Amino acid sequence: MSEEQQLRLQAFLDGELPESDAREVLAWTQRDADAAALLTELRNTRAAIAKSELHLSVPETREFYWSKIEREIQKLEPVEKEIAAPILNWRRLLWPLGTAAICFVVAMMEIPRVNIVQPVAVVSQDTDETVVETDQANSDATTYRDEADGTTLVWFSAAADANPISGKMPGAIN
Rounded CA-CA distance 45/62 in Å is 35
Q: Does 87 bind other proteins (CB under 8 A)?
A: no
Rounded CA-CA distance 44/12 in Å is 14
Alpha-carbon torsion (78, 83, 89, 90), positive or negative? positive
124 contacts 118 by C-beta, under 8 angstroms: yes
Q: Does 56 bind other proteins (CB under 8 A)?
A: yes
Q: Give the x/- contact pattern for other proteins in 16-45, rule: CB under 8 A.
A: x--x--xx--xx-x----x-xxxxxxxxxx
| Cβ-Cβ contacts under 8 Å for 146 (sequence gap 6 or more) | 152, 173
Q: Does 130 bind other proteins (CB under 8 A)?
A: yes
Can you tell me which of 31, 72, 84, 174 binds other proteins, judged by CB under 8 A?
72
Compute the least distance from the CB of residue 109 to other proteins, in Å.
8
Compute the least distance from the CB of residue 121 to other proteins, in Å.
4
Compute the least distance from the CB of residue 84 to other proteins, in Å.
13
